[in-house]
Amino acid sequence: MGLHYRDRELCLGEKNFYPLFPLAKVRHAPFYAYDLDAMLSRVQALKSAAPKNLKTHYAMKANAAEPILRLFQEEGLGVDVVSGGEVRKALKAGFSARNIIFSGVGKTREEIQLAVSSELGQINVESPQELERIAATAKALKKKTRIAFRMNPDVDPKTHPYITTGFRENKFGMDESFLPKLRALLREHKDHLNLVGITMHIGSQIRELAPFSAAIRKTLAVYQSFLDEGHAMESFDVGGGLGIPYQENHEIPSKEISLLQEYGAMISQELGGLKGNILCEPGRVFVASSGTLVGEVQYVKETPYKNFLISDMGIHHLIRPALYQAYHRILPLLDHPQRSIKQYDIVGPICESSDVLGKNRDLPEIFAGEFLAVADAGAYGFTMASQYNEHELPEQLFFRAGREVR
């Protein structure tokens, strides 16, 4: 993964190593840097372990930067999108409409119009009310729209409560009590709705495979029942949700590679006999550890209670720690093993007490003007960044095969 010291300089990369200090030295604001080769290696690890009929749709909300979208598009992936803006961005990046899956619990009329008129590969339906809206739109546009039902299998993936989505207390998907209503709507609108699959997505940052297996088994029964009723079911979509080891120093080859291989094998085992395609929608696991956020320590503020490193990075760049108490390793760009260890809270410039990137971190003593890297910031980093307090969005740098690409 991501970050390694070579001759005491922190480098990004797995195959090629990109020293971060020379990049930081010439910039006066925080920036993200990404290793595209590492992202590709994760896509390929899944591909080689999964059955041939697995079609991967990258969840672009994890990181929608154009060079990343292009990389995955060229690798033959589709995308999973959750807004009209993402639909347009995916089409612009070269994904064919047929390779776009539209997920999301609150699709507006305009978004559904865009999806139906663009003839997307699949709209994942989250409620009977949404299905009625899709049917009315398809009728008005004289289309027959490809849809899949998002089931809520009611499994608890034991991740952070804010990132579970397939538990009965979540707003996402539908349980079996919705099926009679869905069947009635399918019959009523049979000229405009084409049920092509069943989909699920149980949460994010899940590092055990048992919840996926349990959810697949529960949901497969629904798939089978629609198949038995004569619907031309083309695919079973297992969603996304694989996690990465944020807490650990990463090794090469990374643990995500082995997790992806085990995930591919689990899919083979659970869905090996499926008639049709298997779809999946990973986001985080492909991109998280291949990205880092780099910034400068502006002030070192020592109080009788705490030592603060006040950096120019904050929750406006990376909101995950504030939003889900997420842990990201934080490392100085230059290692100084001779310095004594001190404990710091690494905070940002934002006028909120939640503007904390790391609490109680033991680091070699740090001085103002030195640079820090926040590890594993490639997913849900820049895409969740904001301009709160009128700050500018950070620059993003992309590296592939030893050099910077745009």
Q: Tell me the C-alpha distance between 222 and 377, whole Å.
A: 37
Q: Which two tokens stand for residue 5?
A: 């010291």
- The reply to whether 121 sits near ligand PLP by the rule CB under 6 A is no
Beta bridge partners, 344, equal 361
Q: Which candidate, 297, 285, 299, 319, places its Cα nearest to that of 387?
A: 319
- The reply to whether 241 sits near ligand PLP by the rule CB under 6 A is yes
Is 351 an active-site residue? yes
Q: Name which position in 41, 63, 122, 204 contacts ligand PLP (CB under 6 A).
A: 204
Q: Tell me the C-alpha distance between 197 and 237, whole Å.
A: 7
- The reply to whether 281 sits near ligand PLP by the rule CB under 6 A is yes
Q: Which two tokens stand for residue 206?
A: 């899940």
- The reply to whether 189 sits near ligand PLP by the rule CB under 6 A is no
**Selected catalytic residue, list 338, 351, 387, 403:** 351
Interface positions, 313-352, toward ligand PLP (CB under 6 A): none
Q: Which candidate, 300, 299, 345, places its Cα nearest to that of 321?
A: 345
Of 5-13, 263-271, 275-283, 351-359, the segment contacting ligand PLP by CB under 6 A is 275-283
Q: Name which position in 103, 113, 289, 396 contacts ligand PLP (CB under 6 A).
A: 103
Of 22-30, 281-289, 304-312, 396-404, the segment contacting ligand PLP by CB under 6 A is 281-289
3-state helix, strand, coil in the chain (%, to 5): 35, 25, 40
- The reply to whether 376 sits near ligand PLP by the rule CB under 6 A is no
Shortest Å distance, C-beta 382 to ligand PLP: 14
Of 6-14, 129-137, 277-285, 361-369, the segment contacting ligand PLP by CB under 6 A is 277-285
Q: Name which position in 30, 166, 211, 282 contacts ligand PLP (CB under 6 A).
A: 282
Q: Which two tokens stand for residue 397?
A: 């740098």
Query: Is beta strand 291-302 parallel, antiparallel or unpaired with respect to 78-81?
Result: unpaired
Q: Which is nearer to ligand PLP, 13 or 239 (CB)?
A: 239
| Phi and psi angles of residue 122, each rounded to the nearest 5 degrees, phi first | -165, 130
Shortest Å distance, C-beta 28 to ligand PLP: 32
Q: Tell me the C-alpha distance between 10 and 364, whole Å.
A: 14
DSSP 200-251: ---BSSB--SHHHHHHHHHHHHHHHHHHHTT----EEE----B---TTS---
What lies within 8 Å, CB to CB, of 327 at 6+ separation is 246, 247, 321, 358
Q: Which is nearer to ligand PLP, 201 or 317 (CB)?
A: 201
Of 56-64, 314-322, 347-355, 360-368, the segment contacting ligand PLP by CB under 6 A is 56-64
**C-beta of residue 93 within 8 angstroms of C-beta of residue 69:** yes
- The reply to whether 130 sits near ligand PLP by the rule CB under 6 A is no
Per-residue binder mask for ligand PLP (CB under 6 A), 63-82, x = binder: -----------------x-x
Shortest Å distance, C-beta 167 to ligand PLP: 14
Query: b vs e for 233-261, b when ≥16 Cβ sit within 10 Å of the residue's Cβ?
Result: bbbbbbbbbbbbbbeeebeeebebbebbe
Shortest Å distance, C-beta 14 to ligand PLP: 20
- The reply to whether 86 sits near ligand PLP by the rule CB under 6 A is no
- The reply to whether 240 sits near ligand PLP by the rule CB under 6 A is yes
Q: Annotated catalytic sites, by residue?
A: 351
Q: Which residues bind ligand PLP (CB under 6 A)?
A: 59, 61-62, 80, 82, 103, 201, 204, 239-242, 281-285
